[in-house]
A = this chain, B = another copy of it.
Amino acid sequence: MHTTVDITELLQYGERVTFKKGDCLATSIAGESNGDIFILSSGICALSSISLDGKETTYLYFKREQFVGFTSLMTTFNLNYYGKKTFSIIAKTPCVAYRISNRSFQELLGFPSITALMVNTLTENLVYLMEHFHSSKNEPALVQFSRFLMDQAEQEPSGELLLDTVFTYQEIASYLGMHSVTIARMVKALREEGLIDKVGHQIRIINPQKMTNLITEEQKIDY
């Protein structure tokens, strides 16, 4: 675990491909995965599923320099795939990625440094998913939303904490399992309290300390 390779060194094994917003990079239907592994170079992808009644649920976001895809390992488990659940990886913005065929990827996994990197990636995804699941089961909507903002907002060169424009109210609603109207109401409440404002269509966090207090102390704000 001491010698992990930098993921950018692996780009040479891949073929550069671009995706438009809404493109599907990979799918896994009832445990059978198709397609290759990608290293995301720029853009944002989401791991999501569509339920029988058409509702999209987003589990994880992938940002630059991450492995993206379903490994063929998944098919060997003793898990009952009733009902043909489909998980997909969808480009939420235009993306640049490097495609590595499943076969080449299996060969790369013969190198300890690459396997170590894969252990890191999988652990990271597992932790994010546990955190997301925990939050969705146990926390009030406003705490969930505040946590989402603090986790996803990125620091600009100017020091400002800005949320990517990909995170529309509808997109946030899919991730938090809420209605987009609820998201809009929470945005309004947080703006009125002076914790966030909007720059065009982007949410900007203007008081990160108070946002953190909302999460840790589950402070009540009416919305």
Contact = CB atoms under 8 A, between A and B. Distances in A.
A24 interface: no
A131 B85 contact: yes
Contact of A119 (B55, B119, B151, B177): B119
A87 B130 contact: yes
A151 B79 contact: yes
Interface residues on A, range: 35 or more
Interface in A113-165: 115-116, 118-120, 122-134, 136-139, 143, 147, 150-151
A218 interface: yes
B73 A123 contact: yes
Interface stretch (A11-19, A90-98, A104-112, A189-197): A104-112
Contacts of A29: none
A124 B122 CA distance: 10
A200 interface: no
A202 interface: no
Interface string A34-51: 000000000000010101
A199 interface: no
A136 B150 CA distance: 25
Nearest to A124: B77
Nearest to A105: B1
A59 interface: yes
27 contacts: A1-B115, A2-B106, A51-B134, A52-B138, A52-B218, A59-B133, A73-B119, A74-B123, A77-B127, A80-B150, A80-B151, A82-B150, A83-B143, A83-B216, A84-B216, A87-B134, A111-B112, A112-B112, A115-B116, A115-B119, A119-B122, A122-B126, A126-B126, A126-B129, A129-B129, A132-B133, A136-B137
Interface of A: 1-2, 31, 47, 49, 51-52, 55, 57, 59, 71, 73-74, 77, 79-80, 82-85, 87, 106, 109-112, 115-116, 118-120, 122-134, 136-139, 143, 147, 150-151, 177, 212, 215-216, 218
